[in-house]
Amino acid sequence: MSIIRPYGDTTGDGMVQLSFTLPVPHDKRAEGAAVQLANKMGIDPALVVHSKAMGPDFTFFVVYGPVHHLVDTDKVEVLERDHPLLSPKEANLLIRKGLRRRLTVVGACIGTDAHTVGIDAILNIKGFAGEKGLEYYREIKVVNLGAQVAVPELVRRAKHEKADAILVSQVVTQREAHLLNTKEMSAAFREAYSEDTRPLLVAGGPRFTEQMAAELGVDRVFSRGTTPGEVASYLVDALVTKRQHPIRKKTA
């Protein structure tokens, strides 16, 4: 079945809940305005189940009701994984056979973001969601630069470590700082490396969507809830199986 509607307690009832604030004092007219907004959003009839003044000039609403819209799941676009999900053991084996050296990953929180939760979840041995981080992979060398790393410093360390892949994380952001920082990062790497030698660029964080990769100038974007295993599988696929970046003469 590809045509669906939201589910409350009966198939096809279309029930949703939402909450919002309107910049009007709390009175009958405000409730009418909330109903009008909900109607325009496709909720009809709209049931204002709660309204409360937020100071003299604002009113908060909780609204329940059925939406009329239908969703066609066949028309949903997602970035499907086109490579196998590997266990740490499988990933190690593929790297050892295919690369014949350890794969080097340099990770950092760039810009002014001091929240290393994201990059640590992926890199630290402790990991995330029951999966061990990349430090656990014997064939992956992890250099975690931590928080507030300036882009030039990241490029310098990437060169020094001969990085195969760069992982940057952006957690706390305002006014699209995560997008600006990531674009700055990808531009700097493109300037410092030729296209066929530059490391694989990977960005991650809760405010990114996976479709953003091209816009940001990175090879791959990971969004909320990504596990270390997913990142490792992608790195192995891109760097070992598909040999995307970087093309490097074999050294010892």
Partner 1 sequence: MSRINKLDLDPVTVRKARSLARKAGRPIVNLARQHTTVSVERAVLRLAGLTGADADGIPWVNRLADTVRADVGLEHGLALPVWDALLRGEAEDLEVLAQKAATGSVTFRLPEGRDAVRARSASRKVVAAGIKQIDARRRERDRLIKKHGDPEQRPWIYLIVATGDIYEDIPQAQAAAREGADVIAVIRSTGQSLLDYVPEGATREGFAGTYATQENFRLMRAALDESSRELGRYIRLTNYASGLCMPEIATLAGLQRLDMMLNDSMYGILFRDINPIRTFVDQRFSRQIHARAGIIINTGEDNYLTTADAVEAAHTVTVSQLLNEYFAKEAGLGDWQLGLGHAFEINPDIPDSFRLELAHAMLARQLFPDAPLKWMPPTRHMTGDVFRGYLLDGFFNLVGAMTGQGILLVGMMTEAVVTPWISDRDLALQNVRYVMGAAGNLHEDFHPPADGFIANRARQVLAESVELLERIVVDHGLLNAIADGTFGLMRRPADAGKGLDGVAKKSGAYYNPATELLEAGQ
Longest dimension (CA), the chain: 77
> Does position 130 bind partner 1 by CB under 8 A?
no
116 vs 227, beta carbon nearer partner 1: 116
For the segment 63-92, give every residue that binds partner 1 (CB under 8 A): none
C-alpha closest to that of 148 among 185, 112, 183: 112
Amino acid identity of residue 187, one-letter, is: A
The alpha-helical segments, DSSP class H, found in 124-194 are 151-161, 177-192
Secondary structure (3-state) at 231: helix
- Which residue bears the tokens 């964080």? 205
Identify the residue among 29, 50, 52, 242 touching partner 1 (CB under 8 A): 52
Neighbour-count burial of 230, counting CB atoms closer than 10 A to its CB (0-12 exposed, 13-18 middle, 19+ buried): middle
Identify the residue among 4, 70, 71, 117 touching partner 1 (CB under 8 A): 117
DSSP state of 55: S
> Does position 114 bind partner 1 by CB under 8 A?
yes
Q: Tell me the window of 19-27, 28-36, 97-105, 239-247 that interacts with partner 1 (CB under 8 A).
A: 19-27
From residue 198 to residue 237, what is the string marking binding to partner 1 with x (rule CB under 8 A)?
Answer: --------x-----------------x-------------
Which listed residue (40, 126, 159, 242) is catalytic?
126
Q: Tell me the window of 80-88, 97-105, 143-151, 161-169 that interacts with partner 1 (CB under 8 A).
A: 143-151
Q: How far apart are CA 103 and CA 139, in angstroms?
A: 6
The question of whether 242 is a catalytic residue gets the answer no
> Does position 58 bind partner 1 by CB under 8 A?
yes
Q: Tell me the window of 25-33, 41-49, 53-61, 79-87 that interacts with partner 1 (CB under 8 A).
A: 53-61
The alpha-helical segments, DSSP class H, found in 42-173 are 88-99, 117-123, 151-161
Please, are residues 169 and 216 in contact by the beta-carbon 8 Å criterion?
Answer: no
Catalytic residues: 126
> Which residues of this protein are in contact with partner 1, per CB under 8 A?
19-21, 52, 54-55, 58, 60, 111-117, 120, 124, 126, 146-148, 171-175, 177, 206, 224
